Every structure is written in C-alpha cells, then in structure tokens.
Structure 1
Amino acid sequence: MKPGRNDCCWCGSGKKYKHCHMEMDERLAELKAEGYLVPRRKLLKTEEQIAKIRASAAVNTALLDHVAAHVQEGMTTEEIDRLVYEFTIAHGAVPAPLHFQGFPKSVCTSINNVVCHGIPSEKEVLRDGDILNVDVSTNLDGYYSDASRMFMIGEVSQEAKALVQTAQESIQVGLDALKPWGLLGDMGHAIHVFIEKKGYSVVRDIGGHGIGLEFHEDPYVSYVSAEGTGMVLVPGLMFTIEPMINQGRSEILIDERDGWTVRTADGKLSAQWESMVLMTEDGPEVLTR
C-alpha cells in the first residue's frame, strides 16, 4: 500500500514519505508503465538491512581470506569444508549452503572441469596443476552474503592461468557496465562480448542471483543477455556477479549420481570468480570479493 506524502516512509527510515522514497516510487511506476522490468519493493534493501548485510559480507570475505591462507597441494576438499564450517560458526554465523535444498556440505569446491556446485569429499585431493573454485556463502543473523575465488595449486599450465585471469577480469567488465537506473542485461552483454573475444564461452544455463534477505532472490542474473534488457538497476538492489567461463563449449552436464556437481560437457576447464554488489545512487558497491 502506498503511504501518504506525510506518512512515515515504508523503508523504516523514520522520514516522511515525501522526503524519502516517494520520488523513487513515482519513477518506478513510470518505468513499469513503459514496459520496463522493475524490482519489487522487498528487493530494495533499506539502510538498516544494508548495514546487517555488510556485517555478513565482512565475515564472508574474512572466510575466503582464511581459506586462501590454508589451501595447498595435498589437502582434501573435505578439509576445506571443515575449515569453512569451523570459521563460520566461530564468527557467530551459519554456512548458507549447508542443507540448502539438500546440499550436504558447507562450501562448494569445484576443480578443473567442474563448473560449480562441487561437493567436498575426503577422496578428492588437491594436486599440482589443479585450478579450484571455492564458493562460500554466509548467513549472519538471517542476512546473507556470497562470493567465490579461484585458487591455482602448484605449477599450473599457462592455458589454465589465462582462463583464471580472464574469469577474474570479467567481474570488473561487469562492474563497469553497471549504472544506477540502467538495465541489468547490459552487464551480462558486456561480459559475454568480453569472454567471447578472449576465445572462451560463458555458461548459459546457470547465472547469478539476488541476495541479502534470502540466499537466492530475484533477479536472475544472466551473463549472455542482450543489451537493453533485464531489470532496472534501482539503488538498493543487491545481486551477485559470477559468470562461469569455459575453456571450450558452453554446454554443461549435471552429475546424476549426486544431483549437484556441474561439469563441462566437453571435459575442458572452467573458472569462476564471484562478487556481491549493491547498487547505489553513485554506482555499484562491491560487498564481497
């Protein structure tokens, strides 16, 4: 329900509606009438919510730093899972992936041709030349954050290094394409063009997501989208940038044995970095790296 001009704003700021979100709401109504996809009010985080999500993001980033300090050749991905669980719990938070839709572990560990959602295992040992994605997500007091990094184990081939570097660079390409009140599809298009020019492909069937009050929220974030499409980037919107970059074709396969592990269909390498972004009036603010 739309508040009156002199009523308290719906965001909980304590300000009168006319001095807070009234102008934004009117602009959104106009854009919606013109056919643009605009976010629902619940997707636009308030100042109080943003502060609590930032606290979650700080734990999440510290967690990845902790993993970076320990990951090495010879350790198992189960050991990484244990590191993640113990660090997260010690900081008063909960690993968001644990039991999410049946996922059995606290972190996703994806090696070489595993695109995403790799399940940690005592049988999976990091070996010289591997590239590894560690994807951690944190629930702190009901507020969610998410990020992933790539790690290169021992002596990695030049081809693998180039793929990992390109995947990391694609995050900045995406950030550069994000403009307040612009369109989300412009970012996906920019990343897609950049990756294809480098000679790689972008996974089409899995994308990023909104986040903050839930682990996965709207909008769905595609990295093969067309310019001039997608949700309007309204200040307060929060989402992940996490394109999955394949060395070969974009096609993927989901392991039928566990229902989670996603691999490249052609067996070639895949790499991914993930950051979580808040759109502000001044542009995107990176909350996790």
Structure 2
Amino acid sequence: MRKLLALSLALLLCGGLFFIGTNNISTPPQIQQSSDIQVQSPASLPVEKVVVTQPHSSPAVPEPAEQIVVIERTDWKLDQPLQAQLTRLKNRADQGDLQAAYSLAMNLRFCAMTPLDETDLEARLQQAYQYKDDGVAIANIKERYEFCEGINQQQRDEFYFYLETAAKAGYVPAQEEMATVTPELFMQLAGATELERGAYIQKRNDFIQLQLSLLESASQHGSIKALIQLSNMHHSQNYGDHGRAKSYALNQLILELADDNELQSRYSWFVQRRQSELTPEQIEQAHTLSQQWLAMIKANGTLYLP
C-alpha cells in the first residue's frame, strides 16, 4: 500500500496524471469486489454536482459502497406530441427536476431534425418520393412532423440549455449526451460563429474541456458509454498529452466493468494491441491510475451499462 501511495504522489508531483480532472483521486483503499448487483430505477438516480478542483487538490476517495447498483436508463421518448407536454416539462425542469430537463432536451433535439413547417414537410416528402421510397421513410417523416408540430426553431435550439443544465448538475445520461454535441454546433447555438479568431478558439476549447470534465464525472459514476467515448477521444491524441496511455487505462476499466461479450472481445484486443505502443513504465502508471479510477466507481456505487 505504501508503494502504491508513493507512486501516486510521484505521478502528481511530475504532472503525469493521465486524466483531465482526475486530480481529485487519491490512493484508493483496498476494496473488495462486490458480487451483489442491484437494479435501480431512474426515479432514484443519484445526483452529484460537477466540481472542478485545482491541480493541487487531492481529497480522499469516499468510502466504498456496499454494492454496485446498475442504474436503468430513463426512457425520454414521449407518447404524445411535444407541444401538449412542453409547458409541463419546462415547469418541472425549471424547478430543478433533472430527469425532466433531460427528457425535454432530448425531445427538443429530436425535433431539430424534423420539418419545421408544412413547406419544409412537403419538400422532404418530395425528396423521399424521388428516391422511390418504399413508404417507411415517408411514414417516418410524417410521424416525426406530427410529434414536433408547433415547436418553433428557437424552442428546438433550447435543447442545449436544458441538456447542459442537467449535465452540470450531475445527471449521468445528460453528461453522456453532451459528448454528442459537436463544437461547431455549440458555437452556432451560442451565437459565437463570428467571434474574432482568438476568442473563437478559446470559447471552442472551453467547450471541449467542459465535455471532457462531464464525461469524466459520468465515468466516475460507472458510465461505460462515457469510458468508451473518453477512450476514443484520448486515443486520437487530440486532447492533451499521453493520449495513448490514457486510452489504455480506460480500456482496462471497460474490460473490468463490461458484461457484454462483444465489448469484452473488442477491448481485450485493444488492450493487447496498445501494449506495444507504450513503455513498461507507461503501462504500469496507466494500470495504477485505472485502479484508482475503479476505486472511485466502486465508492460511488453505480454502474450505467451501454
């Protein structure tokens, strides 16, 4: 244990932490793997505030939970037209209901790709007819239009506000979804496309850093989707130093947590392949950080399967 603590402190001092925002992880206590896994409904989802700590801050890992609880994902799809439920959802979201904020965001985003008015609807139907569609796409276009009818462009663009609100408040499904918002779309929604180059780059980079911190928060609460997204991002080596080593550590976590045979096979191959890309020291450091991250997940006591 002393050796592991010494290694972790050494990594902190030399700035070798692989994860952005993981500097709040100290050397984990010994934790027994729990064999008891419960399923919890979305209504009782744990919510944790996203806090950005300073690089020198290193609070202790919380006590491990007695067992890891598998969280069932919220079904955000509504069974009635959105217009009929918009006011109710907005009121709940504005009162701090994170599940309502997430559901509202997802439905508004669903409508973003739907015909805005009858003129737009006719144009899309005509395009489908030209492609000699068998009727499935045409029926789908009409169904989506009926669901979103009456929701104007400004309302549709509000999806980001509610998604970001829920994500920053610690709602894991919203944190996962934030990773699907491209920087270009964010800049457009923020009205920042005409900024001077330096200001544009800074705002865009700030958004990317927010995405990373939210994904890391989700992964600390056992989101395998977040772990996969982080692994892909870091393997691209476009998100800071030590990208391949970060990806390697994340892949070890995915192997540890995933119960899907396809994921197990895929990430086992990734781990084996990337061993040749790293030095023995990097592999050892990545393994240490992977175990620290796993201790945090066990301490939070939740697991979100893909």
TM-score between the two structures when normalised by the length of structure 1: 0.29
Bigger Rg, which one:
2
Would you tell me which structure has more helix in proportion to its own residues?
Answer: 2
Q: TM-score, normalised by structure 2?
A: 0.28
Q: Which has the higher strand share?
A: 1
Which structure is higher in RCO with an 8 Å CA cutoff and minimum separation 6?
2
